[in-house]
């Protein structure tokens, strides 16, 4: 009985230790995807003023959403952005430094 309960407790604890950081990364990934979408839309909205202006606006919206714009390109009708957010967990930061997401918006 004691051995069985110990095994169950250890299984639950190890699951918590593994699942908690993974779920945090999953949440961060979703936040970064949303931020990328919003940044791309902001960039596309200002595309008429040129690539530099579009990317500047995309970068501002990305920063306001707690992410960083790491790449931005555009053509005549669309903006393509890559945003990143550092992984908050110190242990996981060594393995996965940041989560990234891409988005494209245009007209």
Q: Min. distance of Cβ 88 from other proteins in angstroms?
A: 13
Q: Min. distance of Cβ 66 from other proteins in angstroms?
A: 8
Q: What string of H, E and C letters represents the secondary structure of the chain?
A: CHHHHHHHHHHHHHHHHHHHHHHHHHHHHHHHHHHHHHHHHHHHHCHHHCHHHHHHHHHHHHHHCCCEEEEEEECCCEEEEEEEEECCCHHHHCCCCEEEEEEEEEC
Enumerate binding residues for other proteins (CB under 8 A): 1-2, 5, 8-9, 12-13, 15-16, 19-20, 23, 26-27, 30-31, 34-35, 37-38, 41-42, 45-46, 49, 57, 60-61, 64-65
């Amino acid at each position: 009985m004691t051995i069985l309960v110990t095994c169950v407790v250890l299984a639950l604890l190890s699951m918590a230790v593994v699942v908690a950081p993974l779920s945090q990364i999953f949440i961060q990934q979703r936040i970064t995807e949303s931020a990328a979408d919003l940044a791309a839309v902001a960039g596309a909205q200002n595309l008429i003023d040129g690539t530099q202006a579009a990317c500047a606006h995309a970068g501002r919206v990305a920063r306001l959403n707690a992410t960083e714009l790491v790449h931005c390109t555009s053509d005549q009708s669309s903006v393509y952005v890559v945003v990143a957010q550092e992984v908050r967990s110190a242990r996981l930061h060594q393995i996965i430094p940041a989560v990234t997401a891409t988005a494209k918006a245009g007209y």
